[in-house]
Amino acid sequence: MSDTVADPTRTLAMREAVTEALAEAMEENPDIILLGQDIGKYGGTFGVYRGLYERFGPDRIREGPLCESATVGFGTGLAISGMRAVVEISFMDFSTVAMDQIVNQAAKLHYFTAGKLKVPMLIRSTVTSRLGLGSQHSQSLEAWFMHIPGIKVAIPSGATDALGLMRTALRDDNLVYFIENSGLYAEEEEVPTEYYEIPFGSARVVRPGTDATVVALSSMVPIAVAAAEQLEEEGVSVEIVDPRTLSPLDMDTICESVGKTGRAVVTHDAHGTAGPGSEIVARIQEQAFDSLDGPVLRVCGEDIPLPAGLSVSKILPDEAKLIESIRTLVEKNW
């Protein structure tokens, strides 16, 4: 028997983590109302709400007509009337239908009323970048929301983070956009049994390393881990950092890592151009220029609308592309 007793854990898939955090918060806070389409007995397009309707009934699991814009507006109205709204926009692509309500209303009411109104609202969307559902059902649009002050953006890469971040989100008095990649839903992790929250703006060092830093988002985190394991065998030691929230963005952890490794690659499914990685790259070179042995590289979705079919993965980042990019950085003398 070892000296230290490991904290007890249990196995949880990311989908279950989201469901659990929602159920827990609804149990505790009767003012939480869920709004959206198909969230009742059906349990949501991705099954994230399964069981909630039975537990909390139709008033609180409020299934409504197919109109995302007014649905978000109703959520904002609930939020400013003293409730806490959770609004489902099933696929992130459909946020386009509700952008005014998200960006001009919910994100700004607290500001332009000088704090008189608060908007405790969480919007949840699933990103299906790798399911091959075609150009209108595949987009990772987190960069848009990072760009808008007044929105917090959480983007977990697994069950542990999803649970902790969702708990935090459901206590935050601001608009939070919570982004889940469907490819991670079934992934299981050992999750602490004890209650914990994960504060926004705290990145996680997924894996320590010394030769290069990979800043990875969402579904790229497990892929980055695989790439790092492969490179380990070649003697290249890769540190992986998952920012977990894009707004706020924990540059301290990222820069600390880059300070150590001198090399950085940023990777995500979203299109590279004006994607979340552009901001991360811009900040790394602003804040850690002296540490850099070479440019910060990006391994991102190509600037092509996402086609239907599984070939979509060919224009998304993968292990091989990431390895190649890290090798370039490590091998080339800049």
Partner 1 sequence: MPDEANGDSLSPEGEVELYFKMCLIRAVEEHVVSAASIGLVPGSTHVSIGQEAITVGACSALDPKDLMLATYRGHGAFLANGGDIKELMAEIMLREPGCCAGKGGTMHLSDPEHGTLLTSAIVASQIPIAGGVALGCKLRNTGQVVMTFFGDGAACEGEFFETMNMAKIWNIPLVMVCENNGYALATPISKSQATPDIADRAKGFDMPAEIVDGNDVIEVRNAVARAVNRARSDGGPTLIECKTVRYGMHSTRSPGYYDNKEDANAWRDVDPIPRFRAALIEREVALPAALEEAEARAKMEALDAREFAQAAPLTSIETIRANVFAE
Interaction residues for ligand TPP, span 160-189 (CB under 6 A): none
Q: Does 277 bind its own copies (CB under 8 A)?
A: yes
Spell out, one character per residue from 137 to 176, where the chain touches partner 1: x when CB under 8 A holds, - when not: x-----------xx-x--------------------xx--
Under rule CB under 8 A, how many of the chain's residues touch partner 1?
A: 72
- Known catalytic residue at 234: no
According to CB under 6 A, which residues from 86 to 105 bind ligand TPP? 90, 94, 97
Q: What's the longest Cα–Cα distance across the chain? A: 62
Find the binder of partner 1 among 109, 166, 191, 198 (CB under 8 A).
109
Query: Cβ of residue 255: shortest distance to its own copies, in angstroms?
Result: 12
C-beta of residue 216 within 8 angstroms of C-beta of residue 241: yes
Of 9, 11, 29, 136, the residue at the interface with partner 1 (CB under 8 A) is 136
Q: How far apart are CA 81 and CA 188, in angstroms?
A: 38
Cβ neighbour number for residue 33 with a 10 Å cutoff: 21
Sign (positive or negative) of CA dihedral 68, 181, 85, 141: negative
Rounded to a whole number of angstroms, the minimum distance from the CB of residue 163 to its own copies is 27
Please list, in sequence order, all residues whose beta carbon lies within 8 angstroms of the beta carbon of residue 47, skipping any fewer than 6 positions away. 15, 185
Q: Is 68 a catalytic residue?
A: yes
Among 20, 56, 61, 63, binds partner 1 (CB under 8 A): 63
Of 16, 20, 88, 137, catalytic: 137
- Among 51, 260, 307, 313, which residue interacts with its own copies (rule: CB under 8 A)? 307
Structure tokens at 199: 């504060």
Binding to its own copies, residues 127-166 (CB under 8 A): 134-136, 141, 143-144, 146-150
What residues numbered 315-334 form the site for partner 1, per CB under 8 A?
Answer: 315
Separation of alpha carbons 32 and 22, rounded Å = 9
241 bridge partner residues: 205, 215
Report the nearest approach of partner 1 to the CB of residue 162 (Å). 22
Residues in 193-252 at the binding interface with partner 1, rule: CB under 8 A: none
| C-alpha Rg value of the chain to the nearest Å | 20
Interface segment toward its own copies; rule CB under 8 A; list 13-21, 117-125, 221-229, 295-303: 295-303
CB 142 within 8 A of CB 197: no
Select from partner 1, ligand TPP, its own copies, none the partner in contact with residue 289, using the beta carbon and a kind-dependent cut-off of 5 to 8 Å.
Answer: its own copies
Q: From the candidates 16, 68, 180, 319, which is the catalytic residue?
A: 68
Stretch that binds partner 1, among 88-96, 206-214, 260-268, 275-283 (CB under 8 A): 88-96
Residues found near ligand TPP in the complex (CB under 6 A): 37, 66, 68, 90, 94, 97
* Residues lying near its own copies in the complex (CB under 8 A): 93-97, 99-100, 102-104, 107-108, 111-112, 134-136, 141, 143-144, 146-150, 247, 249, 270-271, 273-279, 281-282, 285-287, 289-290, 294-298, 303-305, 307-308, 334
Q: Which residues are catalytic?
A: 68, 137
